[in-house]
Amino acid sequence: MNKRLTVKDLQDLKGKKQLVLITVKNAEEAMAAEKVGIEMIGTGSPGKYKNPDNHQNFDELIKIREAAPSAFMHYGASDTLYSNSYEACKLALKVLEFGFDMFYCHRSIDIIKSLSKEGIPVLGHVGLIPGRTTWTGGYKAVGKTAKEAAILYDKCLELEDAGVVAIEMECVPHKVASAISERIKPTVLSLGSGSGCDVQYLFACDILLTTSGHVPKHSKSYRNFLIEFERLQVEREKAFEEFYNDVQNGSFPEKKHIIEIEEPELENFLNSLKKRKML
């Protein structure tokens, strides 16, 4: 078993070693990441009202945590699970008690400060933030102009001052991301922001291609599980059809599938049935 990273380790490794982070959605993916030595694992949570990304409920997230005991794991809380600093701290302390190492939060600086004040490791988010795309003009890269890049840097400094231990930097030009990463203290997680950051970050569903639809440009698929799922569905249908046909033609059940009774016991039972019928 690999040594589980700590916040201190993240700080000490900044600029010295590239770490790897995968966001998973089930315990099987977590176990696979654990087995190959992935240092960091991310999780997400359903919203209070919707779950468009098919994240697991809290009980399943606990199974994910238990499936990868050596990974530094963050909990990605949906915005609707807390509305103020008190609720955010309450939720974050709960997940820390269940063994998570860091709490993802892209809410207000005041909320982030309150979490940090309580000693809760916080992961912030800059660049393309899916829940904030209306402010950046949709799903597109952020920081492609000098003005945008400067705003991005100022936001990172604001998060640093608020006490975050790490910042997810999504879809930022790699030279901008590199320049910012080397100038700030928090660990920078690159999601489509190049190799100049501290951590390379992808989603398991993109690596394995387990969902249909758009695969982000910054991602890379190493397997195509959708094809495998289709093959398995065909095999399911064939297996069910073969079972049905075996029943119809009398070839199931075979002798090995049934339980016998000794002839004297069977005769006694059948005689008892005759007597009952006569009564």
Q: Which of 60, 170, 230, 254 is catalytic?
A: 170
- 236 neighbors 242 (Cβ within 8 angstroms): no
- CB neighbours of 160 closer than 8 A, spacing ≥ 6? 167, 184, 185, 186
187-223 tens-digit pLDDT: 999 999 999 999 999 999 999 999 877 778 888 999 9
What pLDDT does 1 receive? Answer: 55
What pLDDT does 216 receive? Answer: 82
Q: Percentage of residues in the chain with pLDDT exceeding 90?
A: 85
If you average pLDDT over residues 58-69, what whole number do you get?
A: 96
Residue ranges per domain, the chain? Answer: 7-223, 229-278
123-143 tens-digit pLDDT: 999 999 988 999 888 999 999
168-190 tens-digit pLDDT: 999 999 999 999 999 999 999 99
69-114 tens-digit pLDDT: 999 999 999 989 999 999 999 999 999 999 999 999 999 999 999 9
* Superfamily the domain 7-223 falls into: Phosphoenolpyruvate-binding domains (3.20.20.60)
Catalytic site includes residue 158: no
What pLDDT does 69 receive? Answer: 97
Query: What does the alpha-carbon distance between residue 162 and residue 114 come to, in Å, rounded to a whole number?
Result: 9
